[in-house]
């Protein structure tokens, strides 16, 4: 069954309304809701006094309308009594300021008292709902994140370091604490990187970010353990925040879960763009699928204008449907809209849901009702379909954290660089997996690992083996610069990948953002067609050892010297791009890469039309999504059947603005 539904807060509305809500949901094809992830105050009004009566009643009404539920453990927003019990459980910001009560997520993730209260409410809910026919699974907490720098975290950081390094000598050596006489002689001397401490030691700062990420993984695991023990028949997930979220190692956070869920808001109040770039959503979905190499859920899909104090653009007609099918095209096995009804009170008064404040169904409800009817018909043909990309992009959270600590160039963005290569592939309708540096790469024809700045031996061996065995690797400047302690390597760059790339960085330069250096490309199959590719921000001046030069700088004192090289290594090839390029360069390199690797495009489409493939058993499904505001024509190479209309289509087909087609072979 395709899980289709909404995030529902019955506790915000009078009980007399619940029946009507359930009926309207049922009429919209809803079969699943998420409940209770912010209801701690109602579930445990006083310490150890639980009240499940209201939730039982809500579940009973929903179930009578054919609707089942995921329950959220409510630990993302503590009731005042929890925080009154533990005044030192308030999170401390990097500035050193302690948070106060009033929003949500005020808690410190390592506070033992907070963790205990979280286990108690989780255990109580788990016991009460373990065998409830309406309950199918759990969401733990809500959108984990936010670093804490409190004294309790400091003590836990010291213990974490002790576990990791064993001795202070090892810590001092790893971080190079001899610099500025930071040699620690007691564990308790080790600080946390508060802003009041100034620019921190990079080794300490990276370990702190890893520790904090790990703190959430461990906090989550305590709840996972309780739920696994008490509710063995339920699934467990968490709602992640997509590719753009950068404070937790999401590969680690996903490990203990059955599958990943995430929250997709294409139009945010603070992102005032007329048109949502399709690739900006696609990379989020692909990253969420990549965390476990598995289909995912959208636990919150935008269904109205987003906003807290201000109101964002409302989804244009057809957009909710387009975003829904785009999520499905990229691997979503379930879609829940946030939120059922726009709230009349609280911080999120202006975060609009399916229904407006007055509870009346209008345009957005009708659009969702239409999608619900479609998915009731064709959902079974989509659930569990596989994505089978032949290209991977490597995402490394250690690298991401390390660039937060030292961006290298004020305008360099690591996720921006990944996205730039991703966008070029997306424009060609080439499917992409986003994978960790140690993932099994053997199934990919090409791997792009931009700026793998913190590079350990295991990841380096993985990439080397991949190329040796015939893979094509694209890597860039700022690769292999740091070892895992965040110290600069004691070898020519790109460090552990210098041999695979057959190149050494002789020296490097950075450029002001407004300045770029034209490149002379000599790549086989150069597709720039008269346009000049440019180096930006960072310029490695390269000396090939075994590689051939495929681009040279045309300006600066290094004019004529190598900027990009290509090396044959084992049965494969490694392209080293010694700069952060512009779009022309990235487009050209991706043209070369897909040709050299023989990676097919799902379909050639006009700008604005996204084509995505999935496989249901051996049946290929082709999704066509017109993100443009006008009609676009697409040419189909063979005759196909449109699942949504049951009609056979062939040759030239016209897609209306925001239209969706899901095609399978005739």
Residue 351 binds: one of ligand GLA, Zn ion, none (C-beta under 5 to 8 A by kind): ligand GLA
Whether 143 sits among the annotated catalytic residues: the reply is yes
Cα separation of 593 and 585, whole Å?
12
- Catalytic residue, chosen from 300, 374, 484, 587, is 300
Q: Which of 284, 300, 540, 613 binds ligand GLA (CB under 6 A)?
A: 300
Residue 148 binds: one of Zn ion, ligand GLA, none (C-beta under 5 to 8 A by kind): Zn ion
Q: Does residue 143 interact with ligand GLA by CB under 6 A?
A: yes
Among positions 325-344, residues that touch ligand GLA (CB under 6 A) are: 338
Contacts of 113 (CB under 8 A, 6+ apart): 85, 86, 89
- Closest distance between ligand GLA and the C-beta of residue 31, in Å? 21
| β 32-35/446-449 pair status | unpaired
Toward ligand GLA, which CB reaches closer, 76 or 624?
Answer: 76
Contact 620, 431 (CB under 8 A): no
- How many CB atoms sit inside 10 A of residue 520's CB? 15
- Catalytic residue, chosen from 143, 374, 504, 610, is 143
Give the DSSP per-residue string, 520-555: EE--TT---TTPPPEEEEEEEEEEESSPEEEEEE-S
Toward ligand GLA, which CB reaches closer, 143 or 613?
Answer: 143
Q: Does residue 613 interact with ligand GLA by CB under 6 A?
A: no
Residue 483 binds: one of Zn ion, ligand GLA, none (C-beta under 5 to 8 A by kind): none
Q: Which residue has the tokens 């709602």?
A: 239
Q: Does residue 89 interact with Zn ion by CB under 5 A?
A: no
Contact 55, 35 (CB under 8 A): yes
Q: SS3 sequence, 6-73?
A: EECCHHHCCHHHHHHHHHHHHHCCCCEEEECCCCHHHHCCECCECCCHHHHHHHHHHHHCCCEEEEEC
The length of the chain, given as a count of residues: 666
Cα separation of 620 and 379, whole Å?
15
Q: Which of 150, 447, 609, 634 binds Zn ion (CB under 5 A)?
A: 150
Give the DSSP per-residue string, 419-468: HHHHHHHHHTT--EEEE-TTS--TT-SEEEETT--B--HHHHHHHHHHHH
Q: Which of 25, 76, 153, 547 binds Zn ion (CB under 5 A)?
A: 153
Whether 484 sits among the annotated catalytic residues: the reply is no
Q: Does residue 142 interact with ligand GLA by CB under 6 A?
A: yes
- Closest distance between Zn ion and the C-beta of residue 402, in Å? 22
Contact 109, 215 (CB under 8 A): yes
Residues in contact with ligand GLA, counted by CB under 6 A, come to a total of 8
Toward ligand GLA, which CB reaches closer, 338 or 538?
Answer: 338
Contact 174, 485 (CB under 8 A): yes
Q: Which of 108, 140, 355, 566 binds Zn ion (CB under 5 A)?
A: 108
CA dihedral 491, 492, 498, 503 (to 10 degrees): -160
Q: Which of 251, 351, 365, 401 binds ligand GLA (CB under 6 A)?
A: 351
Three-state secondary structure call for residue 483: coil
Per CB under 5 A, the segment of 151-159, 386-394, 545-553, 569-577 that binds Zn ion is 151-159
- Closest distance between ligand GLA and the C-beta of residue 168, in Å? 41
Q: Does residue 564 interact with Zn ion by CB under 5 A?
A: no
Q: Angle of helix 414-427 relative to helix 397-405, nearest 10 degrees?
A: 130
Toward ligand GLA, which CB reaches closer, 312 or 431?
Answer: 312
Residue 44 binds: one of Zn ion, ligand GLA, none (C-beta under 5 to 8 A by kind): none
Q: Does residue 433 interact with ligand GLA by CB under 6 A?
A: no
Whole-Å CA distances, 378 to 328, 372, 381, 663, 664: 12, 10, 5, 12, 12
Q: Does residue 146 interact with ligand GLA by CB under 6 A?
A: no
Q: Which of 127, 146, 258, 348 binds ligand GLA (CB under 6 A)?
A: 348
Residue 150 binds: one of Zn ion, ligand GLA, none (C-beta under 5 to 8 A by kind): Zn ion
Per CB under 5 A, the segment of 27-35, 103-111, 246-254, 538-546 that binds Zn ion is 103-111
Toward ligand GLA, which CB reaches closer, 7 or 398?
Answer: 7
Cα 585 from chain centroid?
26
Give the interface with ligand GLA as residue ranges (CB under 6 A): 142-143, 239, 263, 300, 338, 348, 351
Residue positions annotated with a catalytic role: 143, 300
The site for Zn ion (CB under 5 A) is made up of: 108, 148, 150, 152-153
């Amino acid at each position: 069954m395709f899980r289709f539904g909404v995030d529902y807060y019955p506790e915000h509305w009078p009980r007399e309304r619940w029946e009507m809500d359930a009926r309207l949901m049922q009429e919209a094809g809803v079969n699943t809701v998420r409940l209770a992830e912010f209801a701690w105050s109602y579930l445990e009004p006083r310490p150890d006094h639980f009240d499940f009566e209201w939730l039982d009643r809500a579940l009973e009404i929903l179930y009578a309308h054919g609707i089942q539920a995921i329950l959220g453990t409510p630990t993302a927003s503590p009731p005042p009594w929890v925080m009154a019990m533990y005044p030192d459980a308030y999170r401390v910001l990097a500035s050193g300021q302690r948070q106060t009560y009033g929003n949500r997520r005020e808690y410190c993730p390592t506070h033992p008292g907070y963790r205990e209260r979280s286990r108690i409410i989780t255990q109580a809910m788990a016991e009460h709902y373990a065998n409830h026919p309406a309950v199918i699974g759990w969401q733990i907490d809500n959108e984990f994140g936010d670093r804490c720098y409190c004294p309790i975290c400091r003590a836990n950081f010291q213990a974490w370091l002790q576990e990791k390094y064993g001795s202070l000598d090892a810590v001092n050596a790893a971080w190079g604490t001899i610099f500025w006489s930071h040699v620690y002689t007691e564990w308790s001397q080790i600080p946390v990187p508060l802003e009041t401490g100034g620019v921190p030691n990079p080794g300490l700062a990276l370990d702190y970010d890893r520790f904090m990420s790990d703190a959430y993984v461990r906090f989550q695991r305590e709840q996972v353990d309780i739920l696994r023990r008490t509710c063995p028949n339920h699934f467990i997930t968490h709602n992640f925040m997509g590719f753009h979220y950068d404070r937790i190692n999401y590969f680690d956070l996903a490990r203990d879960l059955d599958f990943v869920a995430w929250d997709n808001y294409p139009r945010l109040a603070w992102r005032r763009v007329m048109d949502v770039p399709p690739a900006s959503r696609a990379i989020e979905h692909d990253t969420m699928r990549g965390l476990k190499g598995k289909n995912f859920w959208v636990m919150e899909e935008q269904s109205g204008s987003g906003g807290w104090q201000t109101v964002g653009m409302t989804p244009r007609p057809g957009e909710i449907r387009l975003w829904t099918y785009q999520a499905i095209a990229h691997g979503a096995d379930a879609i829940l809209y946030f939120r059922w009804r726009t709230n009349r009170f609280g911080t999120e008064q202006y975060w609009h849901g399916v229904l407006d404040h007055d509870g009346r169904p209008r345009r957005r409800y009708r659009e969702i009702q239409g999608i619900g009817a479609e998915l009731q018909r064709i959902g079974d043909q989509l659930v569990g379909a596989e994505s089978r990309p032949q290209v991977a992009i490597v995402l490394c959270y250690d690298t991401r954290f390390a660039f937060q600590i030292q961006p290298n160039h004020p305008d360099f963005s690591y996720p921006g660089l990944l996205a730039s290569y991703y966008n070029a592939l997306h424009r060609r309708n080439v499917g992409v997996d986003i994978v960790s540096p140690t993932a099994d790469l053997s199934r990919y024809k090409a791997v792009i690992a931009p700026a793998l700045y913190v590079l350990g031996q295991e990841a380096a061996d993985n990439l080397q083996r991949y190329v040796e065995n015939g893979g094509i690797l694209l890597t860039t400047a700022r690769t292999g610069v740091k070892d895992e302690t965040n110290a600069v390597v004691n070898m020519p760059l790109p460090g552990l990948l210098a041999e695979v790339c057959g190149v050494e960085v002789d020296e490097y330069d950075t450029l002001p953002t407004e300045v770029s250096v034209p490149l002379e490309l000599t790549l086989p199959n150069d597709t720039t067609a008269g346009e000049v590719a440019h180096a930006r921000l960072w310029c490695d001046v390269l000396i090939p050892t075994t590689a051939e030069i495929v681009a040279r700088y045309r300006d600066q004192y290094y004019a004529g010297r190598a900027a990009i090289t290509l090396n044959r290594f084992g049965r494969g090839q490694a392209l080293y791009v010694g700069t952060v390029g512009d779009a022309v360069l990235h487009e050209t390199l991706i043209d070369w890469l897909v040709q050299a690797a023989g990676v097919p495009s799902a379909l050639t489409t006009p700008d604005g039309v996204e084509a995505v493939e999935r496989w249901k058993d051996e049946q290929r499904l082709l999704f066509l999504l017109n993100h443009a505001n006008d009609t676009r024509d697409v040419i189909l190479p063979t005759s196909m059947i449109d699942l949504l209309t049951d009609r056979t289509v062939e040759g030239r087909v016209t897609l209306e603005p925001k239209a969706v087609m899901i095609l399978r072979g005739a």
